[in-house]
Structure 1
Amino acid sequence: MNVREAAAALLGTVSERSPLSEEWPGLDIDTAYAIQDEALRLRRARGETLVGLKLGLTSRAKQQRMGIDSPLLAWLTDAMVLPAGVPVPSLIHPRAEPELVFVLGRRLAGPGVTAATALAAVDRVYGGIEIIDSRYTDYRFTLPDAVADNGSSAYFSVGPVGLPPASLDLSLEATLLEVDGQIVDTATGAAVQGHPAEALALAANALGARGLALEPGWLVLTGGMTDAVPVRPGSRIAAHFSHLGSITLAG
């Protein structure tokens, strides 16, 4: 198996499959990102538009479970946008998690980006919900598997309230995650690398090492604030933010 074959295989998967690393024992992070980039090329070839980036495994608890000390990056396209009121499409085993979403006002290029310089590049902050959906059986995978699978990306929805970052204390911006009328988890922005601007800086510096940058107008999903919850048919998932409004999705 090569990079092109792996990317095509992952994009074409509509049911659970074994982790890629079981077929490719030498799969490493650099190769996994090459697979991710090739999958983006294929998505763009079929008409999708690149709209931004997401970070995954940003919470310390998730990093400890995976045995890593840094998040992963993945691409976002317009085909992943889930408009308000549209039910979550049929997926393999979808899960939902609330996120803080940045919209960039100017280009942000590493290396050397700090949380302060990263935040200065942000035009607006929104609340959001990401729907993740690993192609791997039982969400069982190595870190290179997750990277190759574009961070288990499926869909995302952005809330109705966008505010300038200077008007918020993002480390204290809280969310309540609700499933079928019951609050199942809570968190603040501090759950994301200590502060979501730290996640943004990390993304800019990691892209800079690959000769890439975050571009004006891009959306950046900074990572799940809580653990992800299953999205079951007929269920109702809502994320309520302190200052950024509420988002409700139907399974």
Structure 2
Amino acid sequence: MDKATDESTMRARALYEARATGVPIAPFTDTHPALAAEDGYAVQRELVALLLTDGDRIVGYKAGLTSIPMQEMFDTCTPDYGPVLASTVHASGARLPVSAFIAPKVEAEIVFRLGRPLRGPGVTVEEARAAVREVMAGLEIVDSRIQDWRIRLADTIADLASNGAVVLAEPQPAGPDPDHRLTGMVFTRNGELVATGAGAAALGDPVAVVAWLANTLGAQGVTLEAGHLIMTGALHAAVPMRSGDTFVAEFDRLGTVTLHVDDSDDAGQPPHPEGR
């Protein structure tokens, strides 16, 4: 094992332990500020291997940093990505305990399910659109195993692109020639409006996110499989999640997705079919 691989393995183990204990770790970039995106992905691969060994499985992929303001914040010109794990997927109406996370925030986004495989490079937006079978209103709980969200690009990539959990509404058929750029969304916390958004916030077109993922993963020999979930990125700034909160995102044409947050003894986590 070479030095770089050994360091990636140690960093992945640190994140794995942070996920298990709920105790965050210092940013890797504090001591190694030159760490780049490719270093983060090397750690991510090692971490995913550990989680799959535990019995989890990949049911899709998420893209992050799909808006220009977020890319500017991380001094990058491209999104990042991470796997969606079966253990993290829940159905709308789930009651999730805040204590299951470290520093959770909630984002609303458009989620697709593929009806056919996609393998880049060379996948076009139109090919990606034709591969989408269903579309869903979704909430992502983003969480950081890095202390105080003090993340740079390599840190968040290593940490599964800061993915914590996913809550999905009932799927809707993709329909003929849909323009998801125009899909509007209203986001409330405890009945109060906290954000609005539209599909175009995600890379100009959320279907373009599907094509980007297919091409980026394809260059590494990974295929987006039929049935995979594709999370296309937040349509607004993330909102902190607290015990007692109820989050509701209402999407034009896609319906409503709801998340209840508490730490009561009867807090349940209804699994989405993808998470079973």
TM-score higher than 0.5 here?
yes
The alpha-carbon deviation at position 38 of structure 1 amounts to 1.3
Q: TM-score, normalised by structure 2?
A: 0.87
Residue number among 140, 144, 149 corresponding to 1:139 in the alignment: 149
Aligned to 1:10: 15
For 1:99-178, what aligned pairs fall within 5 Å after superposition? 99-166=109-176, 168-178=178-188
The runs of at least 4 consecutive aligned structure 1 residues that moved more than 3 Å come to 23-26
Is 1:227 equivalent to 2:237 in the alignment?
A: yes
In structure 2, the residue corresponding to 1:70 is in which secondary structure?
Answer: coil
Q: Distance in 2 between matches of 1:124 and 1:86?
A: 21
CA RMSD of aligned residues (A): 1.4
Moved more, 67-76 or 136-145: 136-145
- Kept in 1, the 8 Å contact 2:44–2:158? The answer is yes
Residue number among 41, 47, 61 corresponding to 1:39 in the alignment: 47
Q: Which amino acid aligns with 2:224?
A: L
Moved more, 161-170 or 41-50: 161-170
Q: Which amino acid aligns with 1:33?
A: Y
In structure 2, the residue corresponding to 1:171 is in which secondary structure?
Answer: helix
- Kept in 2, the 8 Å contact 1:119–1:165? The answer is no
Aligned to 1:187: 197
Q: TM-score, normalised by structure 1?
A: 0.96
Residue number among 217, 241, 248 corresponding to 1:238 in the alignment: 248
Uncovered stretches (5+) of structure 2, i.e. residues with no partner = 1-5, 262-276
The alpha-carbon deviation at position 151 of structure 1 amounts to 0.6
Q: Which amino acid aligns with 1:76?
A: V
1:19-72 per-residue CA deviation (whole Å, 9 max, x = no partner) reads: 112233442221211111111111111010110100001011111111111100
Q: Which amino acid aligns with 2:236?
A: T
Is 1:73 equivalent to 2:81 in the alignment?
A: yes
Q: Distance in 2 between matches of 1:18 and 1:193?
A: 30
The alpha-carbon deviation at position 87 of structure 1 amounts to 1.9
Percent of aligned pairs with the same amino acid: 37
